[in-house]
């Protein structure tokens, strides 16, 4: 399984004290470095478009799962797998990467689009694959295809273009040696390394362990090992798992805190959900969660079950990740008791008119154009308006792609219907019904 084993995070130097030197000399490497295949879709690395890129990338991950059940997502548009099993099964690394390219090319050229999910398979291309000893080296190989050590192959199939950069098994440290230290995933020491005239990963790797320890401290030893090609990775190269609360040795899909516990029945429930998802496809299962909000229909949210564990904190623009609104915030002026007993998911059209049969509207200054006299729900007959309250207006999320500009009124009709109407896009809708 590709997920990181937490044991590796622990420094072998834990507890190194005054007698550092003696301990250092008895130190042995604990990790064997696996071979990795990393795959990146540069076009899908921003994930800022309401999850569109994320969902598109999900299609790539599904394809990869045909080759290996354990795919680890590293960053938006980047994932990786351990090569050992798949490469043996699919006839070697080169064959495997070619098969992967071919398979994704088929997906791309099929031009499948799903408007509802806003998946755009064309944006998957180009695809870059990097193969090397260690996860980090494979990621570096993706982005530095010009290195002389690399074996590079590119592929063009219709609208698809792919490239594979392979670092041969014994040459990972040579490959890394000529690269600049600025690629190291620890930005704190890069400046100092430059000051010291240590400008390549190779010259950093050439420092003795004792020197690295005494100058940079024990935290940097892991990085040093990685630079020497003796370690698969160091913490900090996964872009968003850092902020994820998942325990590291549990597959993301089995997220425990979702159900708030981990007893057997919940495990079983989760299992069923997984089965269901495999039948319906990703993001077809939604769950309702309560959240903070101003209007009744803001105070809950359907979350795609498998999206709630993905992307957090995308780069740049406001992210549209499905994060629940905070219930602890004051939400000034929000709807309180009594709550409607039925909130309509699909709003129903309502007509509201005045005594003079004029359609009622809400002005920009939040006032009703006139007193509502009659109501007709969904084109049915007119009923007298017995009483009403409001309007209550809000304009929120105006900075996002889904601005809300709504006015609500509570209304009792002569047929005894107690309801909440919402005025949106110059139209009245039935929003919810009270008991």
* Footprint of other proteins (CB under 8 A): 192, 195-198, 207-208, 211, 214-217, 292-294, 315-319, 325-326, 329-336, 361, 363-367, 369-370, 389-400, 407-408
Element (H, E) at 53: helix 52-65
Q: In the complex with other proteins, which residue's Cβ is closer, 133 or 320? A: 320
Nearest C-alpha neighbor of 238 from the set 74, 35, 42:
74
User: Is 364 in a helix, a strand, or coil?
Assistant: coil
How would DSSP label each residue in 182-226? GGSS-HHHHHHHHHTT--BHHHHHTS-HHHHHHHH-THHHHHHHH
Residue 370 Cβ, how far from other proteins at the closest point, in Å?
6
> CA quadruple 315, 320, 324, 325: dihedral positive or negative?
positive
Q: In the complex with other proteins, which residue's Cβ is closer, 208 or 380? A: 208
Alpha carbon separation from 406 to 277, 324, 352, 378 (Å, rounded): 35, 21, 16, 19
Q: Find residue 304's DSSP bridge partners.
A: 286
Residue 336 Cβ, how far from other proteins at the closest point, in Å?
6
Q: In the complex with other proteins, which residue's Cβ is closer, 90 or 204? A: 204
Nearest C-alpha neighbor of 112 from the set 62, 40, 163:
62
Residue 94 Cβ, how far from other proteins at the closest point, in Å?
38
Q: In the complex with other proteins, which residue's Cβ is closer, 209 or 244? A: 209
For residue 338, whether the previous peptide bond is cis, meaning omega lies within 30 degrees of 0, is yes
Q: In the complex with other proteins, which residue's Cβ is closer, 110 or 318? A: 318
CA-to-CA distance for 422 and 410, rounded, in angstroms? 9
Residue 246 Cβ, how far from other proteins at the closest point, in Å?
24
Residue 391 Cβ, how far from other proteins at the closest point, in Å?
6
Q: In the complex with other proteins, which residue's Cβ is closer, 134 or 202? A: 202
Q: In the complex with other proteins, which residue's Cβ is closer, 346 or 364? A: 364
Contact present, 34 and 53 (Cβ < 8 Å): no
DSSP 32: P
Q: In the complex with other proteins, which residue's Cβ is closer, 171 or 406? A: 406
Residue 211 Cβ, how far from other proteins at the closest point, in Å?
5
Contact present, 129 and 112 (Cβ < 8 Å): no
Nearest C-alpha neighbor of 434 from the set 338, 344, 361, 349:
338
Residue 195 Cβ, how far from other proteins at the closest point, in Å?
5
């Amino acid at each position: 399984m590709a997920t990181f084993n937490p044991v590796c995070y622990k420094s072998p130097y834990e507890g190194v004290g005054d007698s550092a030197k003696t301990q250092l000399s008895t130190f042995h490497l604990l990790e064997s470095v696996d071979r990795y295949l990393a795959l990146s879709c540069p076009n899908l690395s921003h994930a800022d478009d309401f999850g569109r890129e994320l969902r598109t990338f999900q299609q790539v991950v599904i394809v990869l799962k045909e080759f290996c059940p354990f795919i680890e997502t590293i960053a938006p548009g980047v994932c990786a797998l351990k090569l050992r099993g798949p490469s043996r099964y699919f006839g070697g690394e080169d064959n495997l990467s070619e098969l992967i390219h071919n398979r994704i090319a088929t997906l791309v050229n099929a031009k499948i689009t799903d408007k509802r999910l806003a998946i755009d398979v064309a944006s998957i291309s180009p695809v870059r694959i990097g193969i090397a000893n260690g996860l980090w080296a494979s990621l570096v190989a993706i982005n530095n295809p010009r290195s002389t050590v690399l074996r590079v192959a590119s592929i063009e199939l219709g609208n698809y273009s792919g490239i594979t950069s392979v670092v041969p098994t014994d040459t990972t440290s040579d490959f890394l040696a000529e690269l600049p230290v600025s690629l190291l995933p620890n930005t704190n020491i890069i400046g100092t390394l430059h000051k010291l005239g240590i400008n390549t990963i190779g010259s950093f790797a050439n420092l003795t362990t004792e020197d690295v320890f005494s100058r940079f401290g024990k935290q940097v030893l892991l990085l040093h090992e990685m630079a020497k090609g003796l370690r698969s990775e160091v913490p900090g190269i996964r872009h968003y798992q850092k902020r994820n609360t998942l325990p590291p040795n549990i597959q993301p899909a089995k997220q425990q805190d979702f159900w708030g516990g981990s007893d057997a029945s919940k495990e079983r429930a989760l299992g069923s959900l997984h089965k269901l998802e495999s039948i319906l496809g990703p993001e077809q299962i939604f769950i309702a969660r309560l959240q903070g909000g101003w209007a009744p229909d803001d105070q809950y949210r359907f979350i795609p079950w498998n999206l709630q564990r993905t992307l957090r904190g995308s780069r740049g623009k406001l992210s549209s990740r499905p994060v629940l609104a905070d219930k602890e915030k004051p939400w000034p002026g929000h709807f309180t008791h009594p709550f409607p007993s039925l909130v309509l998911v699909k709003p129903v059209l309502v007509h509201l008119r005045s005594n003079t049969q004029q359609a009622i509207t809400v002005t920009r200054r939040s006032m009703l154009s006139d007193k509502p006299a009659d109501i007709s729900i969904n084109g049915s007959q007119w009923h007298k308006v017995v009483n009403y309250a409001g309007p209550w207006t809000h304009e929120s999320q105006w900075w996002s792609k889904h601005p809300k500009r709504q006015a609500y009124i509570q209304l009792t009709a002569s047929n005894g219907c107690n309801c909440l109407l919402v005025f949106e896009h110059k139209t009245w809708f039935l929003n919810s019904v009270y008991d």
